[in-house]
Amino acid sequence: MELKLPIYLDNNATTPMDPRVLETMLPYFVEKFGNAASRNHSFGWVAEEAVDYSREQVAKLINADPKEIIFTSGATEADNLALKGVYEMYATKGNHIITCTTEHKAVLDTCKHIEKTGGQVTYLNVKADGLIDLNELEKAITEKTILISIMYGNNETGVIQPVQEISKIARKHGVLFFTDATQAVGKIPVDVNADGIDLMAFSAHKMYGPKGVGALYVRRKNPRVKVTSQMDGGGHERGMRSGTLNVPGIVGLGKACEICMQEMDTEAKRLSKMRDRLEVSLMEMEETYVNGSREHRLPHTANISFKYVEGEGLMMGFNKNIALSSGSACTSASLEPSYVLKALGLGDDLAHSSLRFGLGRFTTDEQIDFTIDAIKNTVNKLREMSPLWEMFKEGVDINAIEWEHH
C-alpha cells in the first residue's frame, strides 16, 4: 500500500470525521430536517426522536443519565456554561473557584472573566510531571469555595490528572467538581459516577465526530447541580441552553460516542503501542526529553523536546509531509513558548524545541515509520548546522556562557 502524504498527527487539535458518523448524519440535513422543538407534527417528532437517541448514546459512554446531558456548540461553550453558570447559581454560597495553570484557554479565559466580575480564582501550579499537588488543592479550599475546575487529560502533554482523588477532596468539603474532559472522553474510560464528577465538558470533533457540537454533563442527584443559562431564548435543554438544536451535529456526536464505546479498548492498546514505539525511537537521539508524566497520560499523545533545535524550524523541515503541533501551542500566532510546558518548569529553549504527537484512529504503522525517519533526519541535520550543538558536543557548559546583550 502506498503511503499517502501528508501524514496527520495533530489529532489533539481535531480529528477527521469517521465515515460511519457522516453516514448517520446525512439524512438529517435534507429529508429529516425538522426542528426538535416542533411538537405539532411528524417532522419535529422525527428530529426529537433522533436527539433523544443521541442523548442516550452520549450518556452511555460516560455512564450518565440522558437527562444529565446538555447539548452545546462544543467544549468551549460547555466550559463557559459550567464555570459562569455555577458562579452565578451558587453566588449566595460563595465566589471562589480553584483551577490550574495548565488548563485549556477556554477555562482560563473564562476564569479571568469571572475575576473581572468580582469572583476569586486560585490557579494551582503543577509539578514537573504536569500533575497538580493534592495537598495544595485541599489547602486552597475556603468556606467561599464553590467549584474546583481541573481538566481530565491535557491537550498538549496528554497528562491525566488524579480525577478520583480530586473529587474525593471536593466532596469532603462540599465543593462541586467540574472537569474539562475534551481530550479524555472517547479515548479512555470516563465514568462520571466512579470518578465523582459533577459537571463535565467534551466535544464531538475530538472523537471523530463533527465540529460545532459538544456537551455539558450536569449531575442531577447527589448532589443536584444547576447552572444559570448563558444563552437565553425558548428554554431549550431544560432551560440551561436555549437555541434550536443542531440535529445533524447531535446525531453525529451520538454515533461518535457509540463507536468510541465499542472500539476504545482495542484502539487505546493499538495507539499506545504505536506512540511508545515512536517515543522510544526518537529518544535514541541524545538530548531528547518527554514532557509530562509518562505513566499518567492519554494513550495517543506524546510531547517531546529536542534540545538545540527550534520547534518551528523543525516543523519547516518536514512540514509538507507531517502535520504536527509545535510547543508554541494553540496560540501560535505569538512566538511565546507554550504556557503549559513553561508551567512544567521547562526553560524557553526546551519549550521552543518541543513537538506534540497526537495519534488517532486512522494512524498507521507505516505513517509512524515514516515519521520516525523524517524527524530523526531533520533533527540531526538542524543540529549539525547549530553552533550551540557544536559547543555542547565539545563539552562547553552552555548554561555558564555569558551572552552579550546588544
Nearest to 379 by CA among 398, 359, 354, 358: 354
Number of H helices, E strands in the chain: 12, 13
Phi then psi for 157, rounded to 5 degrees? -105, -20
Collapsed DSSP state (helix, strand, coil) of residue 291: coil
How many alpha carbons lie under 13 Å from residue 136 in its C-beta half-sphere? 12
Alpha helices in 62-104 (DSSP H): 75-89
**Going by DSSP bridges, is the β-strand pair 145-149/322-323 parallel, antiparallel, or unpaired?**
unpaired
Nearest to 275 by CA among 6, 1, 9: 9
Alpha helices in 296-364 (DSSP H): 311-318, 339-343, 348-352
Exposed, middle or buried, 403 (CB in 10 Å: 0-12/13-18/19+)?
exposed
Query: Which of 100, 111, 260, 330 is the catalytic position?
Result: 330
Nearest to 106 by CA among 73, 76, 71: 76
Q: Which helix (H) or strand (E) holds 358?
A: strand 354-358
**Going by DSSP bridges, is the β-strand pair 96-100/145-149 parallel, antiparallel, or unpaired?**
parallel
CA distance 395 to 333: 36
Cβ 297 vs Cβ 344: under 8 Å = no
Nearest to 150 by CA among 172, 122, 173, 128: 122
Exposed, middle or buried, 266 (CB in 10 Å: 0-12/13-18/19+)?
exposed
Collapsed DSSP state (helix, strand, coil) of residue 364: coil
Q: Is 330 tagged catalytic?
A: yes
CA distance 103 to 98: 11
Q: Does the bond joining 223 to the residue before it have cis omega, within 30 degrees of 0?
A: yes
Which of the residues are catalytic? Answer: 330
